[in-house]
Amino acid sequence: MMAGPPNLLRLYFVTWNVATKYPEQELHQLLGINHSVEHKPPDFYIIGLQEVKSQPQNMLLDFFSDDPWSKSFRDILKYHDYVKIKTQRLQGIVLNVFCLRKHMNRLRSIEARYTKTGFGGLWGNKGAVSVRLNLYGVSLCLVNTHLTPHDHLLAERVSDYNTILREHVYEAPDTSSIFYHDYIFWIGDLNFRLGEGLSPSDINLLVRQSQLDVLLAKDQLKRVMTSGEAFAELTENEISFPPTYKYEFGSQDFDLKRRPSWTDRILFKVNADVYENVKLKAEQHTYKSHSSYVQSDHKPVTGEFDIVIRPDVDGPGIEFEPISEWFIDEANAVSYKLVDNTKPESGDWIGLYKEGFSSIDEYLVYEYVNRGLEKSGLPEEISANTKLIETLYFGDTAIRTTGMYRLVYVTQRGDILGILGVSQVFPGHHR
């Protein structure tokens, strides 16, 4: 009997240097969102931004809420049932990860890092941010970078790359380094330029004549990938779009004070043969720039991938018992079962959310989980294989308004988060 097709997840990447501007143009087209019945929504959106406005007063405000760009993307995606699971920021470098709500309870070991490379590592105007996570039995590492600019500073870009590789160290088991993950996606304003010998006007003419292959033969990034100096471990799909930098603001015309270049890229790597029963694979369906976005001197670039996963691995870690209703101004309780040998961590908590919440950080209240093993008095080896029902109580101020709610079980160890279960929707109202 032939095996069925592999199970896939679709990932949609955006990278855009927004040149310290605020969102002005609508972003639906950039996200590939349309109302076609045939349109398959991505399972995840990974949005990497560079040069997000980052003066001290902006950074203070963004500590308590999303920056304007992250908020704009979130305001669109929440209406398509996406939840923001993580934002990592280093000054103007921002990485946002969104997933369809149905995948939330399969997210494990979410961990974020950053590396400064500006001014010899003292300043975060250049560098990298990353988010790593496990889902459906595979590990992903998502890296967003902004490297040293200018045509002649190629050696500094190579040095930036090696610094990021060395300093991005994770605590999650077996994936302490970027390239130890099953899937690696490296996006951003990499700032590689075109080699010498062509003037800005020469490049502009070759672009107008659709002779991109002549220009790509002089691309610094391709050169260092071939020589092994940097990014050699990664792959890039064929480029069929014009250089993404530098444009006149408000225009689709190059600003010929600089030599146009492909600074904005999406690279990837797959460690295909790490599991006996499945061969991992990433198939890229699109790789394009979006010329209609004119508020920056860079054009945004997007890429869409299908990746092979192992859906039968790492199922939900807890199961919530059905909740018929909760009452306003009363203490309420939730019961749940640990499944699949799940063991609670001391930092685990259950958060109460409004139905339709658009971020893990959007909880109304939360309660820490009392360790079931301590309460039960059962030996660990018995408890690990027994579906014990635990009960957690929320105080009488948890629900204050009539509406529909959900509970989310979050496991937390230091800065590493995972989501073990999401309850069904239930009503809250006065008795």
Arithmetic mean of pLDDT, 379-388:
49
Q: Which of 39-53, 58-72, 170-184, 194-208 has the lowest mean pLDDT?
A: 58-72
Arithmetic mean of pLDDT, 77-106:
96
Residue 195: pLDDT band with limits 50, 70, 90: confident
Does 373 score more than 70 pLDDT?
Answer: no
Residue 119: pLDDT band with limits 50, 70, 90: low
Does 384 score more than 50 pLDDT?
Answer: no
Q: Which of 165-179, 221-235, 333-347 has the lowest mean pLDDT?
A: 333-347
Does 35 score more than 60 pLDDT?
Answer: no
User: pLDDT: is 72 or 62 the higher one?
Assistant: 72
Arithmetic mean of pLDDT, 96-117:
95
**What would the pLDDT profile of 44-55 be if each residue is shown by its tens digit?**
999 999 999 965
pLDDT of residue 214: 96
Residue 60: pLDDT band with limits 50, 70, 90: very low
Residue 402 burial (C-beta neighbours within 10 Å; 0-12, 13-18, 19+): exposed
Residue 415: pLDDT band with limits 50, 70, 90: confident
**What would the pLDDT profile of 36-46 be if each residue is shown by its tens digit?**
555 679 999 99
Does 419 score more than 90 pLDDT?
Answer: yes
pLDDT of residue 385: 46
Arithmetic mean of pLDDT, 111-123:
79
* pTM of the predicted structure, to 2 decimals: 0.92
pLDDT of residue 372: 43
Q: Would you state the CATH architecture of domain 8-308?
A: 4-Layer Sandwich (3.60)
Q: Which of 132-141, 378-387, 400-409 has the lowest mean pLDDT?
A: 378-387
Q: What is the mean pLDDT of the chain?
A: 90
Percent of the chain residues topping a pLDDT of 70: 89
Residue 413, Cβ neighbours under 10 Å: how many? 15
Does 291 score more than 60 pLDDT?
Answer: yes
Residue 383: pLDDT band with limits 50, 70, 90: very low
pLDDT of residue 345: 81
Identify the CATH class of 318-429: mainly beta
Arithmetic mean of pLDDT, 95-117:
95
pLDDT of residue 121: 55
**67 is written with which tokens?**
């920056």
Domain ranges for the chain, please list them. Answer: 8-308, 318-429
Closest CA to 147 of 132, 134, 133, 161: 161
State the pairing for strand pair 8-17/82-90: unpaired
Residue 381: pLDDT band with limits 50, 70, 90: very low
